[in-house]
Amino acid sequence: MRKNQGNLISGLDIGSNFVRMVVGQLIDKEAGAQELQILGAAEFPSDGVQKGVINSIEDVVSSVSACLERVERMVGVPVDSTWVGISGLHILSQNSKGVIAVSKANNEIAEEDIQRAVEAARSIATPLNYEVLHVLPKHYTVDGQSGIKDPTSMTGVRLEVDTQIILGSSSQIKNLTKAVYRAGLDIEDLVLSIIATSETVVTKRQKELGVMVVNLGGSTTSLAVFEEGQLIHTAIIPIGSQLITNDIAVGLRTSVDVAERVKLENGDCRVDLTSKKDEIDLFELGSPEHDIVKKKYLTEIISARVEEILQKIDNELRKIQRSGLLPAGVMFTGAGAKLPGLVEISKKVLRLPTNLGYPINVISVTDKVNDLGFATAVGLVKWGSSMQAGSGYGKSGVGDVFRGTGKALDHVKKLFKTLIP
């Protein structure tokens, strides 16, 4: 596999509205510590993707190539490989358990035993044309003692691991891989976008207490719920901020382009804080005619759709009996989370503390790192840096068993390396 020049780490987020790419680098500090610095970030309008699913490979290649060119101009060196986020309605999640007998004669659990347990959990009957993306350990059980986070060096005869298996459509994995390769990039690995986002917007303490990360994208809303430091639930809801724009276009009887500008420049979720006297002239926002609309009417349209999205998020929490029961609350990220008043209305609907999720523990030479829309791309860079340092998600010194698609992606890489010059 080719390596980035200068040990650069890049993350590629291919969304329904924008392709975003971030490039970072691990910098050595005192006492052998390392710090992640973001060197560049770029975005380009996305074509060929709908609800996280590729429907035109050539359009995706064009968008990714344009975004890559922009970010390379910023950092001044070529970017050869990247960590790629994968999302969409084809993503499935299910629980699995792996059970093995400890191999050593003295019954001391080694890293090899943990690997074998995780591989045993991976060996599930997957749906037709689906592949395993991630095997995420929740907790281990040693000789009946459950709730163990890291069983390394413990003594026991029987080792069990409870995991969450993330699955993706084989055809979508291949389409995404093909598009990225055709754009001239090697793939380090595919990572479920919302998990990568979570790596950079919430702390370990928040994950221990119980927190939900919500990525409000253009066509979909992704969420991940953490408790006791482990991922306990993921979901992708098939509505996003684009639906708010569509509602505005219908309600104000204007074009989608004008509706988008209205949402970005005058959008708000707080009906009670909007004056009945405030008016908006759509001509100033690109409409061919002087259509005057009440801002309160606009706010009512936005508020209704946002409440619907929040209710669907709460329904996901009810499925796992966590509705209103996450002490660390909700962290909203994604470009759709920029909507004023989202935090306030979320507190009422979800009955949880709510904040906007900006990347933490990252230094940057660009302001884009503080753009909510770039949180996933920054998270992918952080995921890549953690894997390089051997401290990635769920790691307990267990080698590469958590490296995303792992073996499932290898044969796809070999196939496209032979097909693409």
Instruction: DSSP for 21-63, please give it.
Output: EEEEEEEE-GGG-EEEEEEEEEEEE--SEETTEES-HHHHHHH
List, for residues 210-249, the tens digit of each pLDDT value: 999 999 999 999 999 999 988 999 999 999 999 999 999 9
Backbone angles phi, psi at 354, to 5 degrees: -135, 135
Cα distance between residue 198 and residue 231, in whole Å: 10
With 90 as the cut, is the pLDDT of residue 73 above it?
yes
77, 6 in Cβ contact below 8 A? Answer: yes
Element (H, E) at 323: none
Q: Express as a percent the part of the chain with pLDDT over 90.
A: 71
pLDDT of residue 395: 44
Report, as an integer, the average pLDDT of 338-347. Answer: 94
Cα distance between residue 179 and residue 227, in whole Å: 35
List, for residues 282-321, the tens digit of each pLDDT value: 999 988 988 899 999 999 999 999 999 999 999 999 999 9
* pLDDT bucket at 147, cuts 50 / 70 / 90: confident
List, for residues 183-196, the tens digit of each pLDDT value: 999 999 999 999 99
Cα distance between residue 364 and residue 370, in whole Å: 9
Length of the chain (residues): 421
Task: Between 82 and 276, name the one with better pLDDT.
Answer: 82
Cα distance between residue 241 and residue 307, in whole Å: 12
346, 303 in Cβ contact below 8 A? Answer: no
Please state, rounded to an integer, the average pLDDT across all residues of the chain: 88
Report, as an integer, the average pLDDT of 99-128. Answer: 91
Neighbours of 58 (CB within 10 A): 11
| Residues whose CB falls within 8 Å of the CB of residue 9, separated by 6 or more in sequence, listed in order | 23, 24, 25, 26, 36, 83, 381, 384, 385, 388
pLDDT of residue 183: 94
CA-CA distances (angstroms) from residue 35 to 24, 112, 251?
A: 10, 30, 48
* pLDDT bucket at 250, cuts 50 / 70 / 90: very high
Both tokens of 229, joined, read 């430091």
Closest among 168, 1, 164 to 83, alpha carbons compared: 1
Total-model pTM: 0.89
With 50 as the cut, is the pLDDT of residue 401 above it?
no
Q: Express as a percent the part of the chain with pLDDT over 70.
A: 90
Give the domains, in start order, of the chain with CATH numbers. 5-89+170-201+358-416 (3.30.420.40), 92-168 (3.30.1490.110), 236-355 (3.30.420.40)
pLDDT of residue 415: 55
User: Where does 51-203 have alpha helices with state H?
Assistant: 57-75, 111-122, 170-182, 193-201
DSSP 290: -
Closest among 195, 124, 220 to 387, alpha carbons compared: 195
With 70 as the cut, is the pLDDT of residue 404 above it?
no
* pLDDT bucket at 405, cuts 50 / 70 / 90: very low
Cα distance between residue 223 and residue 330, in whole Å: 10
With 60 as the cut, is the pLDDT of residue 151 above it?
yes
Cα distance between residue 348 and residue 325, in whole Å: 14
With 50 as the cut, is the pLDDT of residue 342 above it?
yes
57, 179 in Cβ contact below 8 A? Answer: yes
Both tokens of 389, joined, read 């340092």
Q: What is the 3 state secondary structure string of 355-394?
A: EECCCCCCEECCHHHHCHHHHHHHHHHHHHHHHHHCCCCC
| Residues whose CB falls within 8 Å of the CB of residue 321, separated by 6 or more in sequence, listed in order | none
Backbone angles phi, psi at 174, to 5 degrees: -70, -40
Both tokens of 206, joined, read 């928040």
E runs forming strands in 217-305:
221-227, 230-237, 279-281, 292-294
Cα distance between residue 333 and residue 90, in whole Å: 21
245, 259 in Cβ contact below 8 A? Answer: yes
With 90 as the cut, is the pLDDT of residue 403 above it?
no
Cα distance between residue 183 and residue 66, in whole Å: 9
41, 71 in Cβ contact below 8 A? Answer: yes
